[in-house]
Amino acid sequence: MELSHLNTHGKLQMVDVGNKPPMVRRATAAGSITLQPQTIQKICNGVVVKGDVLAAARMAGIMGAKKTSEVIPLCHPLYIEHIDVEASVRSDGVEVLAKVRSTGATGVEMEALTAVSVALLTIYDMCKAIDKQMVIRDIVLLEKTKEEVNK
């Protein structure tokens, strides 16, 4: 099996995507953070001292997706056309869903996964003073698609 991120000498390399045709690429990722009931209540009531937790998480997720190639060593910098990050309160915490779209030669799954991860870490940071039992869980890629540009 040939690994695309290794050169002929077994050294790490960035994959050459220069000859790949541009495609419309989409990815959706999700994850969650479990929180204590009192933390969920404070988020819902907007009384977390650091501010609006859900708005901060959404913005952080967008920013994280845009910076993916700066923190994941072999990711290509991409022109991202759209990022949607949702943070929804659930009975046991907050669920984050990120959707990313780009037209290019490589997929956007790492950007979607990074968006979710950064959003969840932001929630953790904003609530760490009031909840010592938070757990980030189940960061997963839900979908990855590509289609020809002319469709």
Positions of the chain with pLDDT lower than 70, given as ranges: 1-10, 12-14, 16, 151
Q: Is residue 50 part of a domain?
A: yes
17 lies in some domain: no
Q: What is the pTM of this model?
A: 0.91
Given this model, what pLDDT does residue 19 score?
78
61 in any annotated domain: yes
CB of 151 closer than 8 Å to CB of 21? no
Question: Which residue in the block uniquely carries the two structure tokens 């859900």?
Answer: 54
Q: Which of 16, 52, 92, 125 is catalytic?
A: 125
Inside any domain, residue 27: no
User: How many domains is the chain built from?
Assistant: 1
Annotated active-site residue 84? The verdict is no
CATH number for the domain that contains residue 101: 3.30.70.640
* Domain residue limits at 69: 37-146
Predicted local distance difference test score (pLDDT) of residue 2: 58
Please state, in angstroms and rounded to a whole number, the distance separating the CA atoms of residues 4 and 12.
Answer: 9
Query: Is 136 inside a domain boundary?
Result: yes
Q: Phi and psi at residue 123, in whole multiples of 5°?
A: -60, -45
The whole-number pLDDT of residue 141 equals 98
